[in-house]
Amino acid sequence: MLRALIVDDEFEIREGLRNRFPWDTYGINEVLVADDGDTALKIALDQRPDLIVTDIKMNRMSGLEFLRSLLAVEDYKPESIVVSGYDDFELVKQAMQIGVLDYILKPINLEELNQIVRKTVDHIHKKRMDEHNEQQLINQVRFAIPKMREELLREMVEQEYDPYREARRRHRLQTLNLEWIADQHMVLVVVEADDLKAIENRNIRERDLVLFGIGNVVNQTLEEEYPYPYALCMDSSNRWVVILSCGQTDQAELCSGMAQLCIQRINDFVKVKASAGMRSTPCTYENLNEMFAEAINVLEQKAVYGGNRLFTEQGHFYEGDSTELSLGEPEEVLDLVKYGSDEEITAAMDRFVEMVQGWRLSQLRDIQQKIFEWLFEVFRRSAAAGIPNKNWGSNPIAVWEQLEQYDTLQSLREQTEIFLHAIAADFRKLSATPSQIVFEAEKILQRDYAESLTLQSVAMAVHVTPVWLSKLFKKEKRKTFLEYLTEIRIMKAKEMLGDIKYKVYQISFQVGYKDPVHFSKLFKKQVGCTPKEYRRQRGIAEE
């Protein structure tokens, strides 16, 4: 059904057209009227009629000025007919130039108006059909491209590299906006749900929901937190394969952090345990199949060491929760002794035995030597951070002799923990408190919320590891880093929504979201209504 608007400053003409013309014959079931251009503009913007019939000359705003005002509205393009006198030809020509479909002369002949309205309504229906077909085509392409990308990525990781297909593969990558894969070094991660067969045996639909949820969480996490190109596909065994652009050495550590963050969020949002295998040494796309095979291989270690964690080809594995520190990462251990409480150091040392087992050493002396080297790396970093070398750092022979006395992992753990507590005690005399770290991070979030902030970038700015900053936020703010940043952005958006000069898409960009659609969805999730609804609830006219 259609809606029409008649605009004329003469009551008899206006009401005569509304009541005497058979609008319903043409599927027009509602006819609105206005007595001048100003009133017509308000009605048109509010009611959005499909067809406008307007006198070209009127007091106050003319019909021509009224139609020109509508041209500025991007998402509203009605069809229009102008009514003119014999001496208004120049105005009619101007009307046709701005897109008026037809005109009719006064006095209005109803038979002639019948023909014009019929033609206009046919044009409206045709335009709607064309728009529908175009949207269908866009949707088909939108759905087809991700499928084509996934098929190509699956082929590249599961099949050996064939140099004879190089040109064709490069062309396909370019066509699907994945050309970066052919030009950059990459890290590959394979993510899978733990005990997926058990889930499948319970309910096949539940399995599908879990797989969809994991892919969705991984994609959204990388979209929000990873500042470089990435690609995602599912392999033939229902595992998610993530390819991360990794052009520099320091990006490899970032990739590891991303994998751990994905596992944590899968735990939080999909409510299942998940593990990941990672080929952390960057390679080019000719090695994708080899990288994939290696990631699958290290992922099998979860049968020995347990799941819900990240495994790498270097023999390291990390807990899934990003707030759980990894003893295998020296930077994280340094933050532990700088900012952690004695209780947190003791809790972290619960994973000491697990770390040592990951070294795959069988001889006691080799284990003692490796622990000694590990300790001295912590000593070295502590000294670089400002702690003077005391007995635990300046006399390596004494440290070695201390470790050499113990021949079980439990007793070696106890001695190692004593050293860590000693370093921590000295740090507490010098270093910033955890509250100061969070305070500095808060200042950055409040100041730069509109920028592409990530946990990694803010952690670097306040000189802690991303894992530790994540831990501090949860501990001190009772919320994650991302939740805190989102609250700031939504608060700023609410303030800007109170000023009608800002359009919603402008607010989206100015609070840090490049995609206005994503911003609107996130706003509704946080506030309970869309940005436009938020404005209307406060009596603010729509844009």
Residue 240: φ, ψ to 5°:
-85, 130
CATH number listed for the domain at residues 159-321: 3.30.70.270
Using alpha carbons, select from 203, 326, 315, 191 the residue that is nearest to residue 265.
191
Domain ranges of the chain: 2-131, 159-321, 342-427, 435-537
DSSP 84-146: E-TT-HHHHHHHHHTT--EEEESSPPHHHHHHHHHHHHHHHHHHHHHHHHHHHHHHHHHHHHH
Q: Are strands 240-245 and 186-193 parallel, antiparallel or unpaired?
A: antiparallel
Does 2-131 match 435-537 in CATH topology? no
Identify whether the C-beta of residue 412 lies closer than 8 Å to the C-beta of residue 406. yes
**pLDDT at residue 148 in the model:** 86
Q: Is 16 left (phi over 0), alpha (psi -120 to 50) or beta?
A: alpha
CA atoms within 13 A on the CB side of 494: 15
- State pLDDT tens for residues 350-386: 888 888 887 888 888 888 899 988 888 888 888 877 6
pLDDT value at residue 525: 83
Which residues of the chain have a pLDDT value below 70? Answer: 138-143, 248-250, 303-306, 314-326, 386-394, 430-434, 541-543
Please give the Cα distance from 1 to 3 (Å, whole number): 7
What DSSP element (H or E) covers 474?
helix 466-477
pTM for the predicted model, two decimal places: 0.41
In angstroms, how far is the first alpha carbon of the chain from the final one? Answer: 26
Per residue in 470-501, pLDDT (tens digit) is 878 877 787 888 888 888 999 999 999 888 88
* Predicted pLDDT at 400: 85
Per-residue confidence (pLDDT) for residue 248, from 0 to 100: 62
For residue 433, the model assigns a pLDDT of: 60
CATH topology of domain 435-537: Arc Repressor Mutant, subunit A (1.10.10)
Q: Give Cβ neighbours of residue 64 (< 8 Å, ≥ 6 apart).
A: 56, 82, 91, 94, 95, 98
2-131 architecture in CATH? 3-Layer(aba) Sandwich (3.40)
Closest C-alpha to 58, from 76, 78, 41, 79 = 41
359 three-class SS = coil
